[in-house]
């Protein structure tokens, strides 16, 4: 449902670069909110399918052959790609979006990248008179599809406030956490928390299974106390059942944890739990689970047997 006019910004035209499992739904919410959205995806067929599906709803969408063509004349350019290299390509490479953006435009990057990359993009944008916000998201594919993402923003206060008016189309929570790069550092903290939680949850489920306990009763008992978490509420049953098809892949978690460990080293910090869980995820990759959801971490633990 389109946003009430009172909640929409004065911005009308948006380019959205990266139409994968996260970016595609996010760009769709923007179109449904009344923005004119031009999409670009490196796999052109995905962009064409995205546009065709939204066009059946009578929405104002189009596609472009390059990031630069998508960005031409747009008030806002939003990106949601894979990693530092991908972002460098679509923004700063040949036919990159920044080269086509007008002075005074706004760049919002939803990719999870390194803090150093976010600061580099901010600097390159500033040279062109473009405001930039690093705005990684949390909530996974389900959050993107339902428009309930949490967004952590780095950048200047004016830039974040301009971005907020647009991002409310797909976000349930938008928090300005600091200057350029701060959004990415906050996302690293987010991923460290998720990884540690899933490691503990995996061991707890296996303990309950090996003890012959009623898993539903155990979850009900402990989810009402200090052990409660989003992962427990949403992944306990599926982890126990061996179901791991929920969108955020182990490969992507390892990429994110790599950024977190790199940032920690640069700050002179130790992150032993994160480093250990990262290695656990490498075992899941070796087991063929690279594209499974991060809750597949439980696969590395045998179920064990209850003593009789």
Mean pLDDT by 10 residues, the chain (308 residues): 47 97 97 97 97 95 98 98 97 96 98 98 98 96 95 98 97 98 98 98 98 97 96 96 91 97 97 98 98 97 72
Q: How far apart are CA 229 and CA 78, in angstroms?
A: 31
Whole-number CA gyration radius for the chain: 21
The one-character DSSP state at 293 is B
Q: CATH 1.10.1040.10 in the chain, residues?
A: 186-300
CATH number of 186-300: 1.10.1040.10
Q: What 3-state class would DSSP assign to 137?
A: strand
Q: Which of 69, 74, 127, 187 is catalytic?
A: 187
Q: How far apart are CA 87 and CA 134, in angstroms?
A: 12
pLDDT at 143: 94
Q: CATH 3.40.50.720 in the chain, residues?
A: 5-180
Among the residues of 65-156, which ranges form H helices?
67-71, 84-92, 115-127, 140-146
pLDDT at 6: 35
- Fold of the domain built from segment(s) 5-180: Rossmann fold (3.40.50)
Strand-pair category, 36-40 with 61-63: parallel
Tell me if residue 187 is catalytic: yes
pLDDT at 90: 98
pLDDT at 10: 86
């Amino acid at each position: 449902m389109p946003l009430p006019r009172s909640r929409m910004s004065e911005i009308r035209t948006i380019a959205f670069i990266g139409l994968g499992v996260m970016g595609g739904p996010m760009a769709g919410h923007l179109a449904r909110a009344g923005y004119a959205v031009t999409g670009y995806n490196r796999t052109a067929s995905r962009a064409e399918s995205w546009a065709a599906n939204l066009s059946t709803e009578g929405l104002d969408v189009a596609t472009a052959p390059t990031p630069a063509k998508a960005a031409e004349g747009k008030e806002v350019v939003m990106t949601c790609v894979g990693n530092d290299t991908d972002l460098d390509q679509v923004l700063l490479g040949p036919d990159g979006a920044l080269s086509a953006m007008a002075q005074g435009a706004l760049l919002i990057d939803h990719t999870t990248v390194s803090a150093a990359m976010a600061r580099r993009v901010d600097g390159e944008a500033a040279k062109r008179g473009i405001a930039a916000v690093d705005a990684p998201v949390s909530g996974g594919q389900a959050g993107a599809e339902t428009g309930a993402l949490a967004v952590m923003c780095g950048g200047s206060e004016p830039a974040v406030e301009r971005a907020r008016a647009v991002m409310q189309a797909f976000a349930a929570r938008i928090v300005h956490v600091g200057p350029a790069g701060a959004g990415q550092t906050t996302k690293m903290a987010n991923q460290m928390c998720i990884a540690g939680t899933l490691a503990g949850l995996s061991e707890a489920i296996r303990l309950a299974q090996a003890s012959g306990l009623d898993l539903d009763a155990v979850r009900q008992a402990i989810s009402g106390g200090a052990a409660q978490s989003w992962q427990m509420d949403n992944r306990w049953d599926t982890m126990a059942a061996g179901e791991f098809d929920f969108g955020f892949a182990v490969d992507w978690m390892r990429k994110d944890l790599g950024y977190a460990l790199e940032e920690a080293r640069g700050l002179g910090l130790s992150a032993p739990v994160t480093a250990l869980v990262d290695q656990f995820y490498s075992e899941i990759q070796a087991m063929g689970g690279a594209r499974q959801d991060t809750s597949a971490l439980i696969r590395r633990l045998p179920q064990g047997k209850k003593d009789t």
